[in-house]
Amino acid sequence: MLKLQNVSVTFNANTVNERKALKNINLELENGDFVTVIGSNGSGKSTLMNAVCGSCNIDSGQIFVGDRNVTYAKEHKRARYIGRLFQDPLKGTAPNMTIEENLGLAYSRGKKRSLSIGISKKDLKLFREKLAELDIGLEDRMKIPVGLLSGGQRQALTLLMATIVTPQLLLLDEHTAALDPVTADKVMSITKKIVSENSITTLMITHNVSNALEYGNKTLVLSQGNILAYIEGEERNNMSLSKIMELYADSSGDIITDKMLF
């Protein structure tokens, strides 16, 4: 579903501030894979996401999503089949538009534009049903502006918007990092449910090492633009928290703090 072949990204090339953000990355996700990504700041996690969705250019290599070679495709073209959530709950929605209007925009992604005005009753029924599945009461607040929602409500809505038309690939860029622990757990529960029910191929960055092992079926460890480990199968099933902390620390020289465990 997702394949990166020898992908490299350099920032500030040929200057004193040159930095190799990704170094000949080779990575392949199969249909339905849910891959968690961990690594310290500057390890290349967000750059990996940006390269896949097209918001940063790569120096060399190729990127495939499904059967498409998207290496040179523009970001807005990739957005038709790639969904993405950011750490900031304010991103991904239009705050002055209502919940139903935001969902209407998301639901039109990749579809041919029609001359009809507004949202059909059929679509409104679907939106209400999908919102009810989130179990946070938004189905009764469809007429309110999104800007009035809490961070957790907004992030749950953004997740629904990214998946209401099932994407080929879902990118989650620390999408619970700005939330309090209780709300973060709720959003992660919603994430697991949506991804599982729709078999969405997913790449999720997290600073929470516990979450990296609890969710998904594979874990990718990055450091300084390199892949240190790609853990799956029995190795991952038998991987304890202490083992992955030791692997990460020994391989990268970085230190995992308590904040990364919760």
DSSP string of 181-199? HHHHHHHHHHHHHHHHHHT
Query: How far apart (Å, rounded) are the C-alpha atoms in residues 35 and 206?
Result: 10
pLDDT at 262 over 50: no
Among 26-40, 105-119, 131-145, the least confident range: 105-119
pLDDT tens per residue, range 76-127: 999 999 999 999 888 889 999 999 999 999 998 766 554 445 788 999 999 9
Averaged pLDDT of the chain? 89
The pLDDT value recorded for residue 132 is: 95
pLDDT at 242 over 70: yes
Is the pTM value of this prediction over 0.75? yes
- Beta strand 169-173 with 201-205 is parallel
Question: What type of residue sits at position 75?
Answer: E
3-state secondary structure of 20: strand
pLDDT tens per residue, range 160-202: 999 999 999 999 999 999 899 999 999 999 999 999 999 999 9
3-state SS string over 45-95?
HHHHHHHHHCCCCCCEEEEEECCEECCCCCHHHHCCCEEEECCCCCCCCCC
pLDDT at 261 over 50: no
The pLDDT value recorded for residue 258 is: 44
